[in-house]
Amino acid sequence: MTFEELTQALNEAMDQEDTLAIERLVAEMQPPDLAEFVRHESPEVSLKLLTHLPLEERAEAFGYLELEKQCELALKMTEEGLSQLFVHMNSDERADLFNELPEERQEGILRRMAQDEREDIRRLASYEEGTAGAVMTSDYVTVPAGVTVGRALDIVRQTAPNAETIYQIYILDQAQQLLGTLSLRQLILAKPEAVVDGLMTTDLVSINVHEEQEEASRLISRYDLLALPVVDDQQRLVGIVTYDDAMDVAEEEATEDIHKSASVGPLDEGFGKARITSLYRRRVNWLVLLVFANILSGAGIAFYEETIEAYVVLVFFLPLLVASGGNAGSQASTLMIRGLATGDVGARDWGKLLSRELVVSASLGLTMAATIAGIGFWRGGMDIAQVVAYSMFAIVVVGSLIGMSLPFMLNKLGWDPATASAPLVTSIADIVGVLIYFAIATSILDLG
Protein backbone atom coordinates (compact mmCIF):
# COMPACT_ATOMS: atom_id res chain seq x y z
CA MET A 1 0.00 0.00 0.00
CA THR A 2 1.02 3.61 -0.54
CA PHE A 3 1.65 5.96 2.37
CA GLU A 4 -1.74 7.62 1.83
CA GLU A 5 -3.51 4.25 1.86
CA LEU A 6 -1.65 3.11 4.97
CA THR A 7 -2.47 6.38 6.70
CA GLN A 8 -6.17 6.09 5.91
CA ALA A 9 -6.26 2.44 7.01
CA LEU A 10 -4.41 3.23 10.24
CA ASN A 11 -6.80 6.07 11.06
CA GLU A 12 -9.75 3.74 10.51
CA ALA A 13 -8.18 1.03 12.68
CA MET A 14 -7.56 3.58 15.45
CA ASP A 15 -11.17 4.78 15.25
CA GLN A 16 -12.36 1.17 15.58
CA GLU A 17 -9.74 0.41 18.29
CA ASP A 18 -8.63 -2.61 16.26
CA THR A 19 -5.34 -3.45 17.99
CA LEU A 20 -4.38 -6.27 15.63
CA ALA A 21 -4.92 -4.08 12.56
CA ILE A 22 -2.94 -1.24 14.17
CA GLU A 23 0.00 -3.54 14.88
CA ARG A 24 -0.04 -4.89 11.32
CA LEU A 25 -0.26 -1.45 9.70
CA VAL A 26 2.43 0.06 11.93
CA ALA A 27 4.72 -2.86 11.05
CA GLU A 28 4.08 -2.24 7.33
CA MET A 29 5.05 1.42 7.52
CA GLN A 30 8.57 2.58 6.75
CA PRO A 31 10.17 4.42 9.75
CA PRO A 32 10.04 7.86 8.02
CA ASP A 33 6.37 7.31 7.13
CA LEU A 34 5.46 6.29 10.66
CA ALA A 35 7.28 9.36 11.98
CA GLU A 36 5.28 11.54 9.56
CA PHE A 37 2.04 10.02 10.87
CA VAL A 38 3.07 10.20 14.53
CA ARG A 39 4.16 13.83 14.48
CA HIS A 40 0.53 14.93 14.06
CA GLU A 41 -0.78 12.83 16.97
CA SER A 42 -0.89 13.54 20.70
CA PRO A 43 2.06 12.33 22.82
CA GLU A 44 -0.04 9.54 24.33
CA VAL A 45 -1.19 8.22 20.93
CA SER A 46 2.29 8.63 19.46
CA LEU A 47 3.90 6.56 22.20
CA LYS A 48 1.25 3.87 21.92
CA LEU A 49 1.86 3.55 18.17
CA LEU A 50 5.64 3.44 18.58
CA THR A 51 5.43 0.68 21.19
CA HIS A 52 3.99 -1.64 18.53
CA LEU A 53 7.47 -1.74 16.98
CA PRO A 54 10.53 -3.70 18.14
CA LEU A 55 12.91 -1.48 20.12
CA GLU A 56 15.45 -1.08 17.30
CA GLU A 57 12.82 -0.05 14.73
CA ARG A 58 11.17 2.19 17.32
CA ALA A 59 14.45 4.04 17.82
CA GLU A 60 14.85 4.45 14.05
CA ALA A 61 11.35 5.90 13.63
CA PHE A 62 11.88 8.10 16.71
CA GLY A 63 15.01 9.53 15.09
CA TYR A 64 12.99 10.85 12.14
CA LEU A 65 10.86 13.05 14.40
CA GLU A 66 11.66 16.73 14.93
CA LEU A 67 13.69 17.40 18.06
CA GLU A 68 10.78 19.25 19.68
CA LYS A 69 8.49 16.24 19.21
CA GLN A 70 11.19 13.86 20.46
CA CYS A 71 11.57 15.93 23.63
CA GLU A 72 7.80 16.02 24.13
CA LEU A 73 7.58 12.22 23.92
CA ALA A 74 10.72 11.67 26.00
CA LEU A 75 9.22 13.56 28.92
CA LYS A 76 6.20 11.24 28.83
CA MET A 77 8.32 8.06 28.90
CA THR A 78 9.71 6.28 31.92
CA GLU A 79 13.44 6.64 32.56
CA GLU A 80 13.89 2.93 31.94
CA GLY A 81 12.07 3.04 28.61
CA LEU A 82 13.89 6.17 27.51
CA SER A 83 17.31 4.80 28.40
CA GLN A 84 16.57 1.64 26.39
CA LEU A 85 15.57 3.81 23.45
CA PHE A 86 18.79 5.82 23.81
CA VAL A 87 20.87 2.66 23.49
CA HIS A 88 19.43 1.96 20.03
CA MET A 89 19.37 5.56 18.69
CA ASN A 90 22.09 6.95 16.46
CA SER A 91 24.74 8.57 18.64
CA ASP A 92 24.35 12.08 17.14
CA GLU A 93 20.55 12.02 17.45
CA ARG A 94 20.56 10.91 21.08
CA ALA A 95 23.17 13.57 21.94
CA ASP A 96 20.91 16.27 20.46
CA LEU A 97 17.93 14.97 22.43
CA PHE A 98 20.01 14.63 25.59
CA ASN A 99 20.90 18.34 25.46
CA GLU A 100 17.21 19.28 25.35
CA LEU A 101 16.15 17.25 28.40
CA PRO A 102 15.98 18.62 31.97
CA GLU A 103 19.06 17.93 34.10
CA GLU A 104 17.31 15.47 36.40
CA ARG A 105 16.12 13.47 33.39
CA GLN A 106 19.64 13.44 31.96
CA GLU A 107 21.04 12.02 35.18
CA GLY A 108 18.36 9.35 35.32
CA ILE A 109 19.17 8.19 31.80
CA LEU A 110 22.93 8.14 32.36
CA ARG A 111 22.56 6.02 35.51
CA ARG A 112 20.90 3.29 33.46
CA MET A 113 23.43 3.19 30.62
CA ALA A 114 26.76 1.42 30.26
CA GLN A 115 29.89 3.47 30.94
CA ASP A 116 31.02 3.60 27.30
CA GLU A 117 27.61 4.88 26.19
CA ARG A 118 27.54 7.44 29.01
CA GLU A 119 30.92 8.80 27.99
CA ASP A 120 29.89 8.87 24.33
CA ILE A 121 26.73 10.88 25.08
CA ARG A 122 28.57 13.33 27.32
CA ARG A 123 31.31 13.83 24.74
CA LEU A 124 28.98 14.43 21.79
CA ALA A 125 26.65 16.61 23.85
CA SER A 126 29.57 18.83 24.92
CA TYR A 127 30.28 20.29 21.48
CA GLU A 128 29.00 23.76 20.72
CA GLU A 129 25.83 23.97 18.68
CA GLY A 130 26.51 24.72 15.02
CA THR A 131 29.90 22.99 14.91
CA ALA A 132 30.90 19.80 13.09
CA GLY A 133 31.19 18.10 16.48
CA ALA A 134 27.53 18.81 17.23
CA VAL A 135 26.31 16.94 14.11
CA MET A 136 28.87 14.13 13.93
CA THR A 137 28.24 10.52 14.94
CA SER A 138 30.57 8.15 16.74
CA ASP A 139 29.07 5.08 15.01
CA TYR A 140 31.73 4.25 12.40
CA VAL A 141 34.19 1.47 11.58
CA THR A 142 37.94 1.71 12.17
CA VAL A 143 40.80 -0.74 11.82
CA PRO A 144 44.36 -0.34 13.12
CA ALA A 145 47.22 0.26 10.71
CA GLY A 146 49.35 -2.74 9.79
CA VAL A 147 46.63 -5.39 9.83
CA THR A 148 45.85 -7.66 6.90
CA VAL A 149 42.71 -7.45 4.80
CA GLY A 150 41.48 -10.70 6.32
CA ARG A 151 41.85 -9.34 9.85
CA ALA A 152 40.25 -6.02 8.81
CA LEU A 153 37.20 -7.88 7.47
CA ASP A 154 36.86 -9.67 10.82
CA ILE A 155 36.89 -6.31 12.60
CA VAL A 156 34.29 -4.92 10.19
CA ARG A 157 32.00 -7.89 10.83
CA GLN A 158 32.28 -7.35 14.59
CA THR A 159 31.66 -3.58 14.58
CA ALA A 160 29.32 -3.20 11.60
CA PRO A 161 26.04 -3.91 13.49
CA ASN A 162 26.52 -0.74 15.58
CA ALA A 163 27.90 1.47 12.79
CA GLU A 164 25.81 4.06 10.97
CA THR A 165 27.74 3.42 7.75
CA ILE A 166 30.28 0.74 6.80
CA TYR A 167 31.04 1.81 3.24
CA GLN A 168 34.11 3.74 4.39
CA ILE A 169 36.64 2.22 6.80
CA TYR A 170 39.08 4.47 8.63
CA ILE A 171 42.68 3.42 9.32
CA LEU A 172 44.14 4.66 12.62
CA ASP A 173 47.57 4.50 14.21
CA GLN A 174 48.18 3.66 17.87
CA ALA A 175 47.49 7.26 18.90
CA GLN A 176 44.08 7.10 17.15
CA GLN A 177 45.29 9.56 14.53
CA LEU A 178 43.66 9.22 11.12
CA LEU A 179 46.12 7.84 8.56
CA GLY A 180 43.83 6.98 5.66
CA THR A 181 40.55 5.54 4.44
CA LEU A 182 39.55 2.38 2.64
CA SER A 183 36.25 1.64 0.93
CA LEU A 184 34.36 -1.55 1.69
CA ARG A 185 34.57 -2.41 -2.00
CA GLN A 186 38.37 -2.21 -1.94
CA LEU A 187 38.48 -4.35 1.18
CA ILE A 188 36.26 -7.07 -0.25
CA LEU A 189 38.14 -7.25 -3.56
CA ALA A 190 41.64 -7.26 -2.04
CA LYS A 191 43.59 -10.42 -1.26
CA PRO A 192 43.18 -11.54 2.40
CA GLU A 193 46.94 -11.46 3.03
CA ALA A 194 47.39 -7.90 1.72
CA VAL A 195 48.12 -5.18 4.32
CA VAL A 196 45.62 -2.32 4.55
CA ASP A 197 48.40 0.28 4.63
CA GLY A 198 49.19 -0.42 0.98
CA LEU A 199 45.54 -0.13 -0.09
CA MET A 200 44.31 2.90 1.86
CA THR A 201 43.89 6.39 0.46
CA THR A 202 46.04 8.93 2.30
CA ASP A 203 44.83 12.00 0.38
CA LEU A 204 42.22 12.78 3.02
CA VAL A 205 39.41 15.29 3.23
CA SER A 206 38.56 15.93 6.87
CA ILE A 207 37.27 18.70 9.12
CA ASN A 208 38.18 19.91 12.59
CA VAL A 209 35.61 19.18 15.26
CA HIS A 210 35.25 22.89 16.09
CA GLU A 211 34.64 24.13 12.53
CA GLU A 212 31.16 25.23 11.46
CA GLN A 213 28.70 22.57 10.40
CA GLU A 214 28.05 24.43 7.13
CA GLU A 215 31.65 23.77 6.14
CA ALA A 216 31.12 20.04 6.70
CA SER A 217 28.08 20.16 4.43
CA ARG A 218 30.05 22.05 1.74
CA LEU A 219 32.95 19.57 1.85
CA ILE A 220 30.63 16.57 1.53
CA SER A 221 28.91 18.20 -1.44
CA ARG A 222 32.15 19.35 -3.11
CA TYR A 223 33.94 16.01 -2.86
CA ASP A 224 30.83 13.83 -3.22
CA LEU A 225 31.49 11.97 0.05
CA LEU A 226 29.28 9.46 1.84
CA ALA A 227 30.85 10.55 5.14
CA LEU A 228 33.35 13.17 6.27
CA PRO A 229 35.84 12.28 9.02
CA VAL A 230 35.99 14.71 11.94
CA VAL A 231 39.30 15.13 13.77
CA ASP A 232 40.44 17.00 16.87
CA ASP A 233 43.40 19.36 17.13
CA GLN A 234 45.78 16.38 17.37
CA GLN A 235 44.36 14.85 14.16
CA ARG A 236 42.71 12.04 16.12
CA LEU A 237 39.49 10.72 14.61
CA VAL A 238 36.57 11.60 16.90
CA GLY A 239 33.58 11.10 14.60
CA ILE A 240 32.11 11.33 11.11
CA VAL A 241 29.46 13.52 9.51
CA THR A 242 27.30 11.42 7.20
CA TYR A 243 25.77 12.71 3.98
CA ASP A 244 22.20 12.53 5.37
CA ASP A 245 23.20 14.73 8.32
CA ALA A 246 24.89 17.09 5.85
CA MET A 247 21.63 17.29 3.91
CA ASP A 248 19.80 18.25 7.11
CA VAL A 249 22.39 20.97 7.77
CA ALA A 250 22.07 22.26 4.20
CA GLU A 251 18.27 22.37 4.50
CA GLU A 252 18.51 24.16 7.84
CA GLU A 253 20.94 26.75 6.46
CA ALA A 254 18.87 27.28 3.29
CA THR A 255 15.76 27.82 5.41
CA GLU A 256 17.62 30.30 7.61
CA ASP A 257 18.88 32.22 4.56
CA ILE A 258 15.40 32.32 3.04
CA HIS A 259 14.02 33.71 6.30
CA LYS A 260 16.76 36.32 6.46
CA SER A 261 16.24 37.27 2.82
CA ALA A 262 12.67 38.15 3.77
CA SER A 263 13.81 39.95 6.96
CA VAL A 264 12.32 37.24 9.18
CA GLY A 265 14.11 35.96 12.28
CA PRO A 266 14.81 32.22 12.73
CA LEU A 267 11.81 30.05 13.61
CA ASP A 268 13.09 27.24 15.83
CA GLU A 269 9.75 25.46 15.89
CA GLY A 270 9.06 25.71 12.15
CA PHE A 271 6.44 27.84 10.41
CA GLY A 272 3.61 25.30 10.69
CA LYS A 273 3.91 25.09 14.50
CA ALA A 274 5.01 28.65 15.20
CA ARG A 275 2.87 30.59 17.67
CA ILE A 276 1.33 33.93 16.72
CA THR A 277 3.52 35.76 19.25
CA SER A 278 6.65 34.08 17.86
CA LEU A 279 5.78 35.03 14.27
CA TYR A 280 5.10 38.59 15.40
CA ARG A 281 8.46 38.91 17.21
CA ARG A 282 10.42 37.44 14.29
CA ARG A 283 8.92 39.89 11.79
CA VAL A 284 8.25 43.14 13.62
CA ASN A 285 11.83 44.39 14.20
CA TRP A 286 12.87 44.68 10.57
CA LEU A 287 9.49 46.06 9.51
CA VAL A 288 9.69 48.86 12.07
CA LEU A 289 13.28 49.68 11.09
CA LEU A 290 12.35 49.77 7.42
CA VAL A 291 9.45 52.13 8.18
CA PHE A 292 11.97 54.66 9.47
CA ALA A 293 14.23 54.01 6.49
CA ASN A 294 11.35 54.69 4.10
CA ILE A 295 10.74 58.02 5.78
CA LEU A 296 13.80 59.14 3.80
CA SER A 297 11.85 58.43 0.61
CA GLY A 298 9.15 60.78 1.85
CA ALA A 299 11.78 63.39 2.68
CA GLY A 300 13.12 63.12 -0.87
CA ILE A 301 9.66 63.66 -2.32
CA ALA A 302 9.12 66.65 -0.03
CA PHE A 303 12.44 68.16 -1.15
CA TYR A 304 11.26 68.16 -4.78
CA GLU A 305 7.78 69.44 -3.97
CA GLU A 306 8.04 72.32 -6.47
CA THR A 307 8.93 69.92 -9.29
CA ILE A 308 5.91 67.78 -8.50
CA GLU A 309 3.60 70.83 -8.35
CA ALA A 310 4.81 71.96 -11.77
CA TYR A 311 4.47 68.49 -13.36
CA VAL A 312 1.90 66.41 -11.49
CA VAL A 313 2.21 63.76 -14.21
CA LEU A 314 5.55 62.74 -12.65
CA VAL A 315 3.68 61.18 -9.74
CA PHE A 316 2.11 58.65 -12.12
CA PHE A 317 5.52 57.13 -12.88
CA LEU A 318 6.97 57.29 -9.35
CA PRO A 319 5.76 53.89 -8.03
CA LEU A 320 6.69 52.20 -11.30
CA LEU A 321 10.22 53.56 -11.34
CA VAL A 322 11.16 52.99 -7.71
CA ALA A 323 9.62 49.49 -7.75
CA SER A 324 11.73 48.63 -10.82
CA GLY A 325 14.89 49.67 -9.01
CA GLY A 326 13.91 47.62 -5.96
CA ASN A 327 13.04 44.59 -8.06
CA ALA A 328 16.34 44.73 -9.95
CA GLY A 329 18.23 45.12 -6.67
CA SER A 330 16.40 42.18 -5.11
CA GLN A 331 17.28 39.97 -8.09
CA ALA A 332 20.96 40.88 -7.90
CA SER A 333 21.01 40.50 -4.12
CA THR A 334 19.40 37.04 -4.23
CA LEU A 335 21.87 35.80 -6.85
CA MET A 336 24.82 37.19 -4.89
CA ILE A 337 23.71 35.82 -1.50
CA ARG A 338 23.21 32.36 -2.95
CA GLY A 339 26.57 32.51 -4.75
CA LEU A 340 28.36 33.45 -1.53
CA ALA A 341 26.50 30.77 0.45
CA THR A 342 27.46 27.98 -1.95
CA GLY A 343 31.04 29.20 -2.39
CA ASP A 344 30.43 29.82 -6.09
CA VAL A 345 31.79 33.35 -5.68
CA GLY A 346 34.13 34.99 -3.20
CA ALA A 347 35.72 38.33 -2.34
CA ARG A 348 38.35 37.78 -5.04
CA ASP A 349 35.60 37.90 -7.68
CA TRP A 350 34.46 41.40 -6.73
CA GLY A 351 35.94 43.28 -9.70
CA LYS A 352 34.79 40.79 -12.33
CA LEU A 353 31.28 40.56 -10.91
CA LEU A 354 30.95 44.33 -10.60
CA SER A 355 31.85 44.91 -14.24
CA ARG A 356 29.58 42.07 -15.38
CA GLU A 357 26.66 43.36 -13.32
CA LEU A 358 27.19 46.83 -14.78
CA VAL A 359 26.82 45.43 -18.31
CA VAL A 360 23.80 43.29 -17.39
CA SER A 361 22.02 46.04 -15.46
CA ALA A 362 22.70 48.57 -18.24
CA SER A 363 21.14 46.19 -20.75
CA LEU A 364 18.15 45.66 -18.48
CA GLY A 365 17.86 49.41 -17.91
CA LEU A 366 17.89 50.17 -21.64
CA THR A 367 15.21 47.55 -22.29
CA MET A 368 12.96 48.86 -19.52
CA ALA A 369 13.61 52.48 -20.51
CA ALA A 370 12.53 51.74 -24.09
CA THR A 371 9.40 50.04 -22.73
CA ILE A 372 8.34 52.99 -20.61
CA ALA A 373 9.36 55.82 -22.96
CA GLY A 374 6.27 55.40 -25.12
CA ILE A 375 3.99 55.62 -22.08
CA GLY A 376 5.85 58.73 -20.95
CA PHE A 377 5.35 60.37 -24.36
CA TRP A 378 1.65 59.50 -24.33
CA ARG A 379 1.15 60.91 -20.82
CA GLY A 380 3.24 64.07 -21.04
CA GLY A 381 5.08 64.58 -24.28
CA MET A 382 8.73 64.29 -25.27
CA ASP A 383 10.16 65.92 -22.15
CA ILE A 384 8.36 63.51 -19.80
CA ALA A 385 9.34 60.58 -22.04
CA GLN A 386 13.00 61.60 -21.69
CA VAL A 387 12.69 61.99 -17.91
CA VAL A 388 11.15 58.56 -17.30
CA ALA A 389 13.45 56.80 -19.80
CA TYR A 390 16.66 58.28 -18.36
CA SER A 391 15.38 57.71 -14.79
CA MET A 392 14.46 54.10 -15.49
CA PHE A 393 17.90 53.39 -16.90
CA ALA A 394 19.73 55.04 -13.99
CA ILE A 395 17.49 53.58 -11.28
CA VAL A 396 17.76 50.00 -12.58
CA VAL A 397 21.55 50.24 -12.88
CA VAL A 398 22.01 51.77 -9.42
CA GLY A 399 19.49 49.39 -7.81
CA SER A 400 21.25 46.38 -9.31
CA LEU A 401 24.66 47.56 -8.15
CA ILE A 402 23.30 48.15 -4.63
CA GLY A 403 21.78 44.65 -4.59
CA MET A 404 25.03 43.07 -5.73
CA SER A 405 27.35 45.13 -3.52
CA LEU A 406 25.55 44.99 -0.18
CA PRO A 407 26.00 41.22 0.40
CA PHE A 408 29.69 41.58 -0.54
CA MET A 409 30.17 44.42 1.95
CA LEU A 410 28.46 42.51 4.75
CA ASN A 411 30.51 39.40 3.97
CA LYS A 412 33.69 41.48 4.12
CA LEU A 413 32.66 42.77 7.56
CA GLY A 414 32.16 39.20 8.75
CA TRP A 415 28.35 39.43 8.83
CA ASP A 416 25.94 37.02 7.21
CA PRO A 417 25.36 38.17 3.59
CA ALA A 418 21.74 37.00 3.88
CA THR A 419 21.19 40.03 6.12
CA ALA A 420 21.19 41.99 2.84
CA SER A 421 17.59 40.93 2.50
CA ALA A 422 15.17 41.82 -0.26
CA PRO A 423 13.20 44.30 1.93
CA LEU A 424 16.43 46.07 2.97
CA VAL A 425 17.76 46.28 -0.59
CA THR A 426 14.34 47.42 -1.84
CA SER A 427 14.12 50.16 0.80
CA ILE A 428 17.59 51.51 -0.04
CA ALA A 429 16.85 51.31 -3.78
CA ASP A 430 13.55 53.16 -3.23
CA ILE A 431 15.27 56.05 -1.45
CA VAL A 432 17.96 56.34 -4.11
CA GLY A 433 15.36 55.93 -6.89
CA VAL A 434 13.26 58.85 -5.64
CA LEU A 435 16.30 61.12 -5.53
CA ILE A 436 17.50 60.04 -8.98
CA TYR A 437 14.05 60.45 -10.56
CA PHE A 438 13.33 63.95 -9.31
CA ALA A 439 16.92 65.11 -9.84
CA ILE A 440 16.72 64.07 -13.51
CA ALA A 441 13.23 65.58 -13.83
CA THR A 442 14.35 68.91 -12.35
CA SER A 443 17.35 69.01 -14.67
CA ILE A 444 15.59 68.11 -17.93
CA LEU A 445 12.49 70.18 -17.23
CA ASP A 446 14.72 73.14 -16.27
CA LEU A 447 13.16 73.64 -12.86
CA GLY A 448 16.40 74.08 -10.93
Q: What is the CATH number of the domain that holds 286?
A: 1.10.357.20
Choice among 43-52, 282-291, 316-325, 373-382 with the minimum mean pLDDT: 282-291
The pLDDT of residue 262 is above 70: no
The pLDDT of residue 148 is above 60: yes
Taken as a whole, the chain contains a residue count of 448
Do 247 and 334 belong to one domain?
no
Whether residue 247 lies inside any domain: the answer is yes
β-pairing verdict for 207-208 and 227-231? parallel
- pLDDT band of residue 153 (cuts 50, 70, 90) is very high
Whether residue 263 lies inside any domain: the answer is no
Do 24 and 54 belong to one domain?
yes
Do 309 and 165 belong to one domain?
no
Do 170 and 239 belong to one domain?
yes
- pLDDT band of residue 360 (cuts 50, 70, 90) is very high
Neighbour count for residue 70 (Cβ, 10 Å): 23
Torsion of CA 165, 167, 171, 177, to 10 degrees: -40
Do 346 and 437 belong to one domain?
yes
Q: Which amino acid type is present at position 59?
A: A
Write the pLDDT tens digit of every residue in 224-236: 888 899 999 888 9
Q: Which CATH number fits the domain that encloses residue 62?
A: 1.25.60.10
Do 298 and 340 belong to one domain?
yes
pLDDT of residue 267: 57
DSSP string, 337-355: HHHHHHTSS-GGGHHHHHH
DSSP-derived 3-state class of residue 144: strand
Instruction: Give CB contacts under 8 A, 24+ apart, made by 436-440.
Output: 436/391, 436/394, 436/395, 436/398, 437/314, 437/317, 437/318, 437/321, 437/322, 437/387, 437/391, 437/395, 438/300, 438/301, 438/303, 438/304, 438/307, 438/308, 438/314, 439/304, 440/387, 440/390, 440/391, 440/394
User: What is the rounded distance in angstroms from the CA atom of residue 385 to the CA atom of residue 374?
Assistant: 7
Of 44, 52, 46, 79, the residue nearest 64 (C-alpha): 46
User: What is the rounded distance in angstroms from the CA atom of residue 360 to the CA atom of residue 97?
Assistant: 49
Do 314 and 405 belong to one domain?
yes
Q: Which CATH number fits the domain that encloses residue 240?
A: 3.10.580.10
Do 292 and 431 belong to one domain?
yes
Whether residue 62 lies inside any domain: the answer is yes
The rounded percent of the chain whose pLDDT value lies above 90 is: 15
pLDDT of residue 276: 74
pLDDT of residue 418: 66
**Cα distances (angstroms) measured from residue 158 to each of 151, 152, 326:** 11, 10, 61
Do 313 and 243 belong to one domain?
no
Q: Is residue 49 within 8 Å of 34, Cβ to Cβ?
A: yes
Do 302 and 402 belong to one domain?
yes
Write the pLDDT tens digit of every residue in 8-17: 888 888 888 8
pLDDT of residue 144: 93
State phi, psi for 212 to the nearest 5 degrees.
-70, 145
Whether residue 306 lies inside any domain: the answer is yes
Choose the final residue of a domain: 96, 126, 156. 126
Domain encompassing residue 182: 141-252
Q: Which residues contact 299 (CB under 8 A, 6 or more apart)?
A: none
β-pairing verdict for 168-172 and 178-183? antiparallel
Choose the final residue of a domain: 198, 219, 252. 252
Do 219 and 300 belong to one domain?
no
The pLDDT of residue 256 is above 70: no
Whether residue 267 lies inside any domain: the answer is no
Whether residue 134 lies inside any domain: the answer is no
Mean pLDDT (whole number) for 320-330: 87
pLDDT of residue 313: 83
Choose the final residue of a domain: 82, 103, 126. 126
Choice among 78-92, 118-132, 301-315, 424-438 with the minimum mean pLDDT: 301-315
Mean pLDDT (whole number) for 290-316: 79
The vertex-45 CA angle with 42 and 49, nearest 5°, equals 135
- pLDDT band of residue 248 (cuts 50, 70, 90) is confident
State phi, psi for 169 to the nearest 5 degrees.
-110, 135
pLDDT of residue 272: 60
Q: Which residue has the higher pLDDT, 349 or 271?
A: 349
Whether residue 271 lies inside any domain: the answer is no
pLDDT of residue 178: 92
The pLDDT of residue 255 is above 70: no
β-bridge mates for residue 177, sequence order: 236
The pLDDT of residue 448 is above 60: no
Write the pLDDT tens digit of every residue in 366-414: 999 998 888 888 877 888 889 899 999 999 999 999 888 888 887 777 7
Whether residue 406 lies inside any domain: the answer is yes
Q: Which residue has the higher pLDDT, 2 or 391?
A: 391
How many domains are there within the chain? 3
Going by the DSSP 8-state scheme, the letter that residue 180 receives in this structure is: E
Do 296 and 431 belong to one domain?
yes
Write the pLDDT tens digit of every residue in 161-209: 878 788 889 999 998 899 999 989 999 999 999 999 999 988 889 999 9
